[in-house]
Amino acid sequence: MQRRPAWPRDLDRPKLLAAGEDWDVVRVPADVGMRAVRDLEARGVPVGPVLHDSCNGQAYFLTPPGTAQEWQQDGTQALGSGSWVVLAPPGWRGLLRWLHDPADGPAHTLTDDLAESLVAAVVTGEDAEG
């Protein structure tokens, strides 16, 4: 089991943090991200922190450091070393809100699990539209 991350204990408000050391991020459209979270949960896969930014309509999955170097999935963007992401403290409610709080589970969503759920989420979205 992954240990819980230390960075949330230091936040009392949203803050710009550097990716690439404790975590990388995979950014996806919020609707796809929410469907992917439901898929991960339905499969019983541990889900790490997932942030929803209602200002830009994106969801951010925290993934293991180094993810951005190898991540290649259409419709997504991996952010690693050299990137910055605004993260909120656990329990924060506002324009940023946690779909999966960093205080409640593993430090990351594993990339293979995330990739599989994102593919399923896109297919589910296409089925709903068609």
- Top mean pLDDT of 74-83, 86-95, 98-107 is at 74-83
DSSP string, 48-117: --EEEETTTTEEEEEE-TTHHHH---TT-EEE-TT-EEEE--TT--SSEEEEE-TTSS-S---HHHHHHH
CB 127 within 8 A of CB 120: no
CA 45 to chain centre: 14
% of residues, the chain, pLDDT over 90: 75
CA 54 to chain centre: 14
User: Confidence class of residue 126 from pLDDT cuts 50, 70 and 90?
Assistant: low
Give the chain's mean pLDDT. Answer: 90
CA–CA separation, 72 vs 65, rounded Å? 15
Residue 12 DSSP class: S
User: Confidence class of residue 20 from pLDDT cuts 50, 70 and 90?
Assistant: very high
User: Confidence class of residue 129 from pLDDT cuts 50, 70 and 90?
Assistant: low
Beta pairing partners, 52: 59, 97
pLDDT computed for residue 105 by the predictor:
85
